[in-house]
Amino acid sequence: MTVVVAGAGMAGLVAAARLRELGVAPIVREKGTRPGGSMLLSSGVIWRHRAWDEFRRECPGGDARLQRLIWDRLDDALDWLVAASGVPAREETANPLTTGRRFDPANLTRALVQKGGVEGSTARAGGVPLHSSDAGILCTGGFAASPDFVERFVRPTAPLRRRGNPWSTGDGLLHAVERGGVLTAGMGEFYGRNMPDAAWGEDDFVTRSQLYARFARIFDETGDEFFRSEEVSWSETNVVQATARRPGARAYYLLDADALDREVRYGTVADLVAAAPAAARIPLDELPFEPPPETREAVRVVAAITHTIGGVRIDERARVLRDDGSAIERLYAAGVDVGGVATGGYASGLAQALVLGLVAAESAAADV
């Protein structure tokens, strides 16, 4: 029986590689122009929270069974990834709360394409190329690139800028629902970054992220200070979600001298501000409200969506579930097509893709 892997991002490439190890030759279908999905556009860090209790505190609305599965299996999965791909990785996350490894995304993509026999198997096509008689693994990357679905579920006040691949438009979710699958809680949540309100492209997704909200005072267009620095989560995901629901899905980061001197991942806050496009650095006398007197710099940011957090409901074998909890025969999901992992907070999308890609492949191989 055929196993079709729908999507050649991180989850799909991992699933294909693991299936081949298990003696199953998958058919991998990707509607985009290249493999790698949004993983290819990322910093390449695959991580988990160091402490299980911290994971639960960070993502309190998530499915504890899936969270535990990912948390328990990630270290071994990372060892598998290094061995299977041959791509070296540094043990680095730049965050004391997390542990993981950093891969070069381009090298990892090329290696997994070869390991999974994906070259020559991809083809541009709309929708999910599965039949109900196929064993299928949904790895289409959620719906972050679908303006219609984002408007329906996330409900931003303005269209969100895209900070991921352009092909994740909800095909996997639609296919699962058509087969009787159900969606999880958290459909309105997403992971993203506040980015400069200026022109930027795929090469800027990491370097132009304005990751210093915890040191800024954050206002919207009306002058409402809608988010306090003490409320900012370490990942700043809660800030970008809040920004998406302010006028124009836009905010202003106001910085005093002390804030500009603070150390962040890529230097100081002043360094990040200096690297922002000039169009996003707003002169204080051009702000649409009166800034606090201590303000030295103002950066206008827009909410940008990387991937969605809600998605298809699965069990610990990555089987897509119906509303009554029963599993749909021969239908699996992995990556951020799956919901119920990071609900209420933020966890590594690449870790979710890696572990669930392995689990889905192992389940499909056992069932065919």
What secondary structure does DSSP assign to 218-274, as a single string? EE-TTS---B-GGG--TT-HHHHHHHTTSGGGEEEEEE-HHHHT-EETTEEHHHHHH
Which residues, at least 6 apart from 114, have a Cβ–Cβ distance to it below 8 Å?
Answer: none
Instruction: Give the pLDDT score at 129.
Output: 62
Give SS3 for 59: coil
Strand partners, 113: none
CA distance 59 to 184: 14
Q: What is the mean pLDDT of residues 214-233?
A: 95
CA distance 131 to 337: 18
Instruction: Give the pLDDT score at 257.
Output: 97
Q: What is the mean pLDDT of residues 35-47?
A: 95
For residue range 52-109, list pLDDT tens digits in order.
Answer: 999 999 999 999 999 999 999 999 999 999 999 999 999 877 788 899 999 999 999 9
Instruction: Give the pLDDT score at 258.
Output: 97
Instruction: Give the pLDDT score at 125.
Output: 47
* Tokens (6 digits) for 204: 């800027």
Sign of the C-alpha dihedral, residues 161, 38, 363, 119? positive
Instruction: Give the pLDDT score at 250.
Output: 98
**What share of the chain has pLDDT > 90, as a percent?**
88
Phi and psi torsions of 301, nearest 5°: -125, 160
3-189+309-367, what's its fold?
FAD/NAD(P)-binding domain (3.50.50)
Q: How many CB atoms lie within 10 A of CB 301?
A: 26
Q: What is the mean pLDDT of residues 355-366?
A: 97
Predicted confidence band of residue 266 (pLDDT cuts 50, 70, 90): confident
For residue range 186-215, list pLDDT tens digits in order.
Answer: 999 999 999 999 999 999 999 899 999 999
Q: What is the mean pLDDT of residues 118-139?
A: 67
Instruction: Give the pLDDT score at 265.
Output: 77
Helices (H), the chain: 10-21, 52-58, 64-85, 105-115, 147-153, 171-178, 237-243, 257-260, 269-275, 349-367
Q: What is the mean pLDDT of residues 23-43?
A: 93
pLDDT at position 123 over 50: no
Q: How high does pLDDT run on average in the chain?
A: 94
More confident of the two residues 275 and 252: 252
Q: What is the mean pLDDT of residues 234-250?
A: 97
CA distance 302 to 305: 10
pLDDT at position 126 over 70: no
Q: How many CB atoms lie within 10 A of CB 185?
A: 16
Domains of the chain, by residue range, sit at 3-189+309-367, 192-305
**Cβ atoms 66, 338 nearer than 8 A:** yes
Q: How many CB atoms lie within 10 A of CB 14?
A: 33
Predicted confidence band of residue 168 (pLDDT cuts 50, 70, 90): very high
Distances (CA, A) of 279 to 223, 273, 276, 285: 20, 12, 8, 15
